[in-house]
Amino acid sequence: MNANHLFFFRAVLYETLLLQTLEASGAWTLRVPWIILSLYAVFGGAMFWLGRRRKVSDRVSLASFLADIAATTAVLMSTQGGGSDYYIAYFIVILASCMLQNLLYSFVVGAVACIVYGAMIFPGLHWLEGSAYLLRLSLLMATSLFSTFIVDSTRRIRQESRDLYESRLAWMERLSTVGQAVAGVLHELKTPANTILLGAEYVKAVLDRPEERARAEAQLDIIRDEAERVGQVLADFLNFSRPTELTLTPTSVERPLRKAFERLAVRAEDRGVAMESSVAGTTMVQGSETHLMQVFLNVLGNAIDAMPLGGRVTVSERPHGDAVDIHVADNGVGMEPESIRRLFEPFKTSKADAGGHGIGLSVVQWIVQKHHGDIRIRSAGPGRGTEVVLTLPLVR
């Protein structure tokens, strides 16, 4: 609630109670109402000071409105003004309770005001004959219901506005992501497409020259590799933008790991990277062998790329409880802490010059989470290697 608005409301209420006190018979000789007004002035100033310094909780605000009702009742009773026109002070409190922005609390303020005022001026056994009593009480009750209606309408409008804003923001974020994805796809496909085109033209040109057969076969191998690269890029983007549900069955961690080793063997040998694994074939997890192989291909591939001058990648396991940690460690270039924090952000890559598109680890994280596991990456710093820890639940 706005402290200035509340201060204005309490200033109007104070003025109303002050006028009632001044018009009361022998007001200057009455001590009680003046004491009450003095205390209420201090209370109003304290609430204004508190509201300017920090956010006041809804419960404290409700208590302050109940204090407003108590001060109003005390002044009217001490000046015998329950039947005067200054009972409008209750209307002021009820209408101001709309600022509570809480339907229940606003209803409580209105109900308390009606009950207190009704009890204060209750005419006795002949209350049905007191038309003024019933009229005033009815007006207070109607005002209370009106104030709760305002609070409820304001809450619904605020919620609808918030939902609309959040949906528009999410839509804009999706548009931004799609734009980045399209740009990434176009960038990634441009190089292999050009390579395939040039290679095909070369093979076509040397078809009639037997002496060029070896070079033609080399070009065909390049075309095949680039076509596979195009397929991998498209698969990564599709997995990121439209992930599918995984079918999890009891699977040996060693099987997909061994297949990943076999696929990366030539690449590791070209880089002078030695790959070692101590993962046992008996370690069983509830998983998808195909997707786990994709995880190991990505993690091991990143480790190989991090060692352009050669090195070593070791894979080990550490069971604990109902899960197993798979550690993939290299002695490559390492990373800064800031780089580690951004590794799982889509389209963020540290290998842009080498053709990275920043989707691989996002897909890896999604796959691991679908296995009800976790992935952590840590590095002691540049030049001190990197370790990836995959946590997967064991078969029970």
137 assigned to some structural domain? no
Instruction: Give the global pTM.
Output: 0.46
Instruction: Take residue 80 and report the two structure tokens written for it.
Output: 């015998």
**Spatial separation of the C-alpha atoms in residues 207 and 229, rounded to whole Å:** 25
| Same domain (yes/no): 36, 80 | yes
136 assigned to some structural domain? no
pLDDT number for residue 240 = 58
| Same domain (yes/no): 268, 382 | yes
Give the domain extent around 23: 3-121
pLDDT number for residue 313 = 94
| Same domain (yes/no): 194, 324 | no
| Same domain (yes/no): 106, 232 | no
Coil, strand or helix at 84:
coil
| Same domain (yes/no): 71, 196 | no
235 assigned to some structural domain? yes
| Same domain (yes/no): 264, 369 | yes
| Same domain (yes/no): 322, 389 | yes
Contact 64, 10 (CB under 8 A): no
pLDDT number for residue 71 = 92
pLDDT number for residue 354 = 44
Residue where a domain terminates, one of 191, 209, 241:
241
286 assigned to some structural domain? yes
SS3 letters across 145-160:
HHHHHHHHHHHHHHHH
Residue where a domain terminates, one of 74, 92, 121:
121
| Same domain (yes/no): 223, 283 | no
Contact 327, 293 (CB under 8 A): no
129 assigned to some structural domain? no
Contact 106, 64 (CB under 8 A): no
**Spatial separation of the C-alpha atoms in residues 265 and 359, rounded to whole Å:** 23
| Same domain (yes/no): 285, 389 | yes
| Same domain (yes/no): 268, 216 | no
- Residues with Cβ within 8 Å of residue 288, at least 6 apart in sequence: 246, 247, 248, 249, 251, 367, 371
pLDDT number for residue 352 = 43
Contact 327, 317 (CB under 8 A): yes
Residue where a domain terminates, one of 199, 224, 241:
241
The domain spanning residue 327 has which CATH number? 3.30.565.10
| Same domain (yes/no): 255, 373 | yes
pLDDT number for residue 382 = 87
166 assigned to some structural domain? no
How many structural domains compose the chain? 3
158 assigned to some structural domain? no
362 assigned to some structural domain? yes
Q: Strands 311-320, 273-277: parallel, antiparallel or unpaired by DSSP?
A: parallel
Give me the tens of pLDDT residue by residue for the chain, a chain 396 residues long. Answer: 678 888 898 999 999 988 888 887 665 557 888 899 999 999 989 988 988 888 888 888 889 999 999 999 998 888 887 778 888 888 888 888 888 878 888 889 989 998 998 888 777 666 555 567 778 888 888 988 888 888 888 888 888 888 888 878 877 776 676 666 666 566 556 656 766 777 777 777 777 777 777 777 777 777 776 777 677 667 666 665 655 667 888 999 999 999 888 888 878 888 899 999 998 888 899 888 888 988 898 899 889 988 988 899 999 999 988 999 999 999 988 888 777 777 776 655 555 444 444 456 777 888 898 899 999 998 888 888 999 999 999 987
| Same domain (yes/no): 237, 253 | no
